[in-house]
Structure 1
């Protein structure tokens, strides 16, 4: 069932050492600030929960995985502080995923845009369908993917990041994302995806949780400065969103 709540929904299901976090929003599973805050808080709590070894991150429905941050909130930004605060939402989630002591499996069933691509990149292992196309469209509204750049580049490298960022109107399909390293496996349909997610999560949950936690630290080596880095990036985006270029571009988009 898809949520109709304006601030979105976040459901947590814990079974057999596996925590499934399912987020949803009527606007293509986009994230208002309140939902980003809830997700970051939940990830930080799960990190301290010894009864959980693995996290599955997924979204509602069979269409979009995540359309990024809330467009309505972006349009409403009117001060530098509001701008920085808006972009800090995804920064906090990425840092919570990075520092969480549990392996995070991303289950990506559909398209991901902007922050949604960052969310997938912050997972430790991603399984997706061939319909899980990605796009970084930030340039089309006068900003850039500054907050998510470190986590996306870490997964796919500078060349692929440059291609994705500069071709801001082009979708890259699931196979492109697998070839570049964002996705580990791509499946023809959601049933195959879900079967494989369940198998992988079950296997990981049977391993030594201490070994998983130590390996997670290895995966994220040399990222201890990201709290400061992503805050700086949020400030850059917060300033750009107040530019005349962006205000005009947002006004055009909001009329569509």
Structure 2
């Protein structure tokens, strides 16, 4: 199994109606197209599931929540159409979170890079550990955070988004992400993180489903055009990934 076919997305629903969706990839939980598609489909499916009252979105492992785009797949992109298709995967995940009728709780145990920051920002309430530093590295790769930009900017504000997007080689600590609103709560370790996530999910699951659904719609008011916007942004990234600058950066990173 190569890095383009590796990776899993699993889901399980407990007695409280809490559905935990977990993604994994052996390369620091990076996201190739197959995992992106499976993740978006799973979020959409359980967003419509009557037994599910709240969704927890997490990844496996200890150190990295999500490394963002799969460099192995970026290397294979040869046309604008292929580039659009790949980056549309991130658009699908964000839009699946946005349009889900269920509140989605994020559980970020470690570093989030690029698209991983976008996944965290697409949740409705995000818990993290103090080790969960963030970085939007896309500009340093020659691409720019075009697809995840709207959801990150919505969560942390324009000024903070500009800082994160332009200072593309530096991690911001979890405390910075917490202060800017990306993370709602921080825990010292994964044990405390899991306890906090579970307690909050149980609390939400006891609320009236119709009220939660109505709040979800209110939270995301003004984003109805994102089905189109994020695809337009994916096309920009899909074109830039073909540049010599980006190909050289990826080649050096993989060597």
CA distance in 1, matches of 2:222, 2:236: 22
TM-score with structure 1 setting the length: 0.96
Query: Alpha-carbon deviations, 1:38-80, whole Å to 9, x = none?
Result: 1111111112111111000011011100001211001110001
1:203-250 deviation digits (Å, cap 9, x = unpaired): 000000010000000000000000000000000000101112212222
- For residues 75 and 113 of structure 2, the distance between their equivalents in structure 1, rounded to whole angstroms, comes to 17
Aligned to 1:199: 199
Task: Give CA-to-partner distance per residue, 1:94-146, whole Å, 9 cap, x none.
Answer: 00000000000000000000000000000000000000000011111111000
Rounded to whole Å, the distance in 1 between the matches of 2:24 and 2:254 is 22
Q: Distance in 2 between matches of 1:248 and 1:24?
A: 27
Normalised by the length of structure 2, the TM-score is 0.97
Tell me the residue number matched to 1:219.
219
- Does structure 2 retain, via aligned residues, the 8 Å contact 1:120–1:182? yes
Aligned equivalent of 1:104? 104
Runs of 4+ in 1 over 4 A off after TM superposition: none
CA-atom RMSD, angstroms?
A: 1.1
Q: How many residues align?
A: 252
Alignment of 1:14-163 (within 5 A): 14-15=13-14, 16-163=16-163
Contact 1:152/1:161 (<8 A) preserved: yes
| Residue 167, structure 1, aligned to residue 173, structure 2 | no
C-alpha separation between the residues in 1 aligned to 2:41 and 2:138?
26
CA distance in 2, matches of 1:47, 1:105: 13
The Cα of 1:5 is off from its aligned counterpart by 9.2
| Partners of 2:76 and 2:4 in 1: CA distance | 19
Name the CA distance, whole Å, in 1 between partners of 2:190 and 2:247: 38
Q: Which runs of 5+ in 2 are unaligned?
A: none
- 2:210 is matched with 210
In structure 1, stretches of 5+ residues that fail to align are: none
Partners of 1:175 and 1:33 in 2: how far apart? 31
Q: State the distance in 2 between where 1:141 and 1:254 align.
A: 13
Determine if contact 2:40/2:93 at 8 Å carries over to the other structure: yes
Deviation, structure 1 residue 6: 4.2
CA distance in 1, matches of 2:130, 2:242: 36
Structure 1 residue 7, shift from structure 2 partner: 2.3
Question: Is the Cα contact below 8 Å between 2:6 and 2:26 reproduced in 1?
Answer: no
Paired residues of 1:67 and 1:116 also in contact (CA < 8 A) = yes
Partner secondary structure for residue 19 of structure 1: strand
Contact 2:144 2:237 in 1 (8 A): yes
CA contact (8 A) 1:6 1:26 kept: no
| Structure 2 residue aligned with 1:245 | 245
